[in-house]
Amino acid sequence: MPPIPPVDQPLDLTGQTVLTAATSVVALGFALFTLRLCLRRRTWAPALLLASGVLCLVLEPVYDDQFHIWFHDRGQMWGTYSAYGMTQPVWVPITYAWCYGGLALLVWRRLMDGMTRAGLLRMTGMLWAIFTVFELVGINLGVYTYFGDHPLRLFGLPIWVEIPNTVLTVVAAVAFARLEPLLHGIGRASLLAVVPAAFAMLSFGAAFPTLVVISEVGRPTALVYGATIVSLALAVAMLHLAVQAVPADAPAPEPVLDTVEVT
């Protein structure tokens, strides 16, 4: 039988307030950062990338359903819209304003400044830490939970989910950096599809072995962990492909030619 969400678990009202306020401050900071990048680089590309990340919020109910996430409610949630029998709390769309598009924007900026493969891998580790810490805080504030037979739990968080989360941000940033210079005029609007496409590709295209196995409770532990290993291998493979699109070494400086004064 499928896992049953903890519908009777109460919502921590203080946790809801803290998470909503904190995500709002971070989202505002990323909005100002995006505006500054647009003005300094004289391009609307950063705004397009941030907006592409925001579009992913439409996929959130599908993600929650497949990954078995439950937002505690009991009539006390500051809700937005409902899908798959669950209401989305207000802090979720606020989070999307920075979490996917905003973090991808940080990677994009570094790529535009000549970041190498080694630098990208170091930044991937930093992004993994951000995703992991954010979800650990959210879960332990008592506003939502992962239910069912998720493997590799740490303080309630199945930490395996943060690998696809991280890689999708990197894949989106690399794809955007390579495609944006090729597009002009109204055609640049198609870049809005980049982050949602990466979101679906990693969240479902890489994680599907584990999602299929945990769709029913009581599956053998070896099967659950085996499926998780396959899912993580697929995510790492996608990261490897993205890294290949980044230069291995920093570009060589332009040679300085000696000048001879002619009199």
- Domain of residue 237 covers 13-243
Q: Specify the pLDDT at position 75.
A: 87
- Mapped onto helix, strand or coil, the DSSP state of residue 207 is coil
User: Is residue 260 situated within a structural domain?
Assistant: no
Strand extents, DSSP E, the chain: 69-71, 79-83, 86-89, 144-146, 153-154, 157-158
Q: How confident is the model at residue 97 (pLDDT cuts 50, 70, 90)?
A: confident
- Mapped onto helix, strand or coil, the DSSP state of residue 12 is coil
Tell me the per-residue pLDDT of 15-45, one tens digit each, with 9 for 90 and over: 999 999 999 999 999 999 999 999 999 999 9
Q: Specify the pLDDT at position 255.
A: 55
3-state helix, strand, coil in the chain (%, to 5): 65, 5, 30
Structure-token pair, residue 179: 């495609």
The yes-or-no verdict on residue 258 having pLDDT over 60 is: no
- CA–CA–CA angle 72, 59, 172 (5° rounding): 125
User: Is residue 222 situated within a structural domain?
Assistant: yes
Domain total of the chain = 1
Nearest of 127, 76, 75 to residue 99 by alpha carbon = 127
Please say whether the beta carbons of 33 and 105 come within 8 A. Answer: yes
User: Is residue 1 situated within a structural domain?
Assistant: no
Q: Specify the pLDDT at position 142.
A: 96
